[in-house]
């Protein structure tokens, strides 16, 4: 076990949520639910399909409902693992092209790394279907 690693346990006792935080450096403190800071909402919406047909609807693959998050990296892969799109600009999305060539209708993988306003970072991995 690493030193300074913080372990968090959620305990429910008599319908009262308690949080016990203890660090390996000997510090321990109990808090009731009223004392705990509310977590940042992490509800990034990532589409499962898009249609790059220039009709003005769902023409690019990008995250929805981004507010004050920072995009650290977004990569899209074809089935052979080739990175067909990469950006760290939250306003940009994949238009279904690679080297200026339309890519075929298929399922593509993605990896998206986000930093939230509280400094926490999270990686989202999944697939998106390109429909032509």
Tokens of 28: 């321990």
Least Cα distance to 95 among 35, 66, 55, 124 occurs for 55
Confidence at residue 43, expressed as pLDDT on a 0 to 100 scale: 76
Residue 28 sits in the same domain as residue 69: no
Q: Give 35's pLDDT tier (boundaries 50, 70, 90).
A: very low
Mean pLDDT, all residues of the chain: 78
Confidence at residue 8, expressed as pLDDT on a 0 to 100 scale: 38
**Tens digit of pLDDT for each residue in 53-110?**
999 999 999 998 888 899 999 999 999 999 999 999 999 999 999 999 999 999 999 9
Strands 121-130 and 49-50: parallel
Residue 58 sits in the same domain as residue 22: no
Residue 69 sits in the same domain as residue 120: yes
CA dihedral 54, 114, 85, 51 (to 10 degrees): -30
Question: Averaged over 2-10, what is the pLDDT?
Answer: 39
**Domain tally, the chain:** 2
Q: Give 41's pLDDT tier (boundaries 50, 70, 90).
A: low
For residue 36, is pLDDT > 70? no
For residue 21, the surrounding DSSP H or E stretch is strand 16-23
* Distance (Å, whole) CA 131 – CA 127: 13
- Is 43 contained in some domain? no
* Distance (Å, whole) CA 52 – CA 59: 4
Residue numbers of the domain that contains 108:
49-130
Residue 69 sits in the same domain as residue 32: no
């Amino acid at each position: 076990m690493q030193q300074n690693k913080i372990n968090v346990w959620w305990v429910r006792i008599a319908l009262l949520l308690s949080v016990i935080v203890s660090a390996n450096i000997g510090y321990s403190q109990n808090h009731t639910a009223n004392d705990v800071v509310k977590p940042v909402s992490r509800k990034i919406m990532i589409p499962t399909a898009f249609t790059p047909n220039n009709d003005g609807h769902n023409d690019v693959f990008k995250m929805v409902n981004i507010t004050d998050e920072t995009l650290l990296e977004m990569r899209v892969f074809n089935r052979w693992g080739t990175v067909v799109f990469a950006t760290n600009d939250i306003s940009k999305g994949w238009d279904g092209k690679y080297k200026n060539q339309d890519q075929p209708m298929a399922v593509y993988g993605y990896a998206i790394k986000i930093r939230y306003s509280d400094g926490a970072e999270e990686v989202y991995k999944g697939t998106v279907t390109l429909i032509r």
